[in-house]
Chains A and B, each alone.
Chain A
Amino acid sequence: DGGITQSPKYLFRKEGQNVTLSCEQNLNHDAMYWYRQDPGQGLRLIYYSQIVNDFQKGDIAEGYSVSREKKESFPLTVTSAQKNPTAFYLCASSTGQGLTDTQYFGPGTRLTVL
């Protein structure tokens, strides 16, 4: 997991609340990603950012929002519009220099809706 930190490790959300998951990297990577992991479904891309102040929707962006104000940080907000947010959330980063660059993952945040 080296170089990428996610906090908190566990997060509990009440119905109707927005919550923000933190992701920080010290790898000097340009690209950052957020994935959602559900049992038996692999990883699904929520949002990704190739450069500061720019980001694109992934395959399941509805109910989520992100910002990329600093190169090191890519926080994810799970809004009340996300109807089924209970999942394991993984942040990743890469150099962003092409198709062959490797993604490095943080340790994850497990979000549970109460």
Chain B
Amino acid sequence: AQSVAQPEDQVNVAEGNPLTVKCTYSVSGNPYLFWYVQYPNRGLQFLLKYITGDNLVKGSYGFEAEFNKSQTSFHLKKPSALVSDSALYFCAVRENTGGFKTIFGAGTRLFVKA
């Protein structure tokens, strides 16, 4: 069965410093991986996705994610954090057993301090 894990409930980083939000996955077959961001009392916004090809995927708002097949990871990164990046981040994996289901991680709350 497909699954995704976000090992950190919360990440704290100072503004201007690089940030990493971790995600590991377990799938049978090719992984289709997504990152979403959620601001308070709002829906999720799509950041980026990995389908195939380059291991470094660039997305919205300066975010990027690094796909590592050997470590089954898909960590979200940003070179320089902004206070406005503070939000809840979800990693997700698309089920590839014939259905349309997406499995979401529990989420990681990012706090960026000025």
Contacts and interface: CB of A to CB of B under 8 A. Distances in A.
B43 A102 contact: no
Interface residues on B, range: 20 to 34
Dominant secondary structure at the A interface: strand
Contacts of B90: 42-43
Contacts of A48: 100-101
Nearest to B34: A102
B56 interface: no
Contacts of A107: 42-43
A58 B101 contact: yes
A61 interface: no
Contact of A42 (B45, B101, B107): B107
Contacts of A43: 44, 90, 104
Contacts of B49: 100, 102
A1 B102 CA distance: 18
- Which of B32, B36, B96, B102 has the most chain A CB within a 10 Å cutoff? B102
A58 B100 CA distance: 10
Contacts of B46: 102-104
A54 B43 CA distance: 25
A99 B32 contact: yes
Interface of B: 9, 32, 34, 36, 41-46, 49, 51, 90, 94, 96, 100-102, 104-107
Interface of A: 1, 4, 6, 31, 33, 35, 40-43, 45, 48, 50, 58, 88, 90, 92, 94, 96, 99-100, 102-108, 110
7 contacts: A41-B106, A43-B90, A48-B101, A100-B94, A105-B36, A105-B43, A107-B43
